[in-house]
Structure 1
Amino acid sequence: MNRRFHPFFIVILVLMAIGIIFRMMTTPFELIVAIVIFGGVFLLWKYPPSRFRKANGRKPSSSAKRTKERRKNVPFRVIQGNKRDDDGPPEKPHTYH
């Protein structure tokens, strides 16, 4: 399979690269600070400290499960509606003219 990128996606990637290169030339410290902050947030999200992890609760034992009661095999019941049969001509929709 030939997987090609959409031209709009390529333009966005080129503009992002130009912006990053320009930012590195003008104010590299701001870019480094942003990378460090995003990296720290990513690491905290991926590997949270032990005090923030969710405690694994005990699972109920399999013997405590309830057994499902079998349902009765009841045939479907038809409820009479108020809709008219399609034997006659259809009604005209009401308009406010």
Structure 2
Amino acid sequence: MNMYRRLSLPDYIIYGLLVVGILYRFLVNPGPLLIPLLVFGVIFLLYKFPPNRLQKQGRPVQHRTRTAERKKYEERERRKAHFRVIPGSKPDSDEEQPPKYH
């Protein structure tokens, strides 16, 4: 199926009448069309170009040096924990099966 469908003759007629109707309405009484257009225009401009007080305050970018990265890597390497098994009070039972949902 073609993604870009060509318009048929009735489509062109309907869209043409729609444009003529909007232009006529705007020329006769522009208030009802002008106010919503202005409101949407102001909202669009505020969205695209927000005032400075509404923009997020930029934080200075901290550049890491190689020594800081190496120090962080060494700290991470140092913190590796070795797990130890603490003997419990339950008797060891090898013939018991593990729980079904574990």
**TM bracket (short chain):** 0.3 to 0.5
Which structure has the larger Rg over C-alpha atoms? Answer: 2
Give the TM-score normalised by structure 2.
0.44
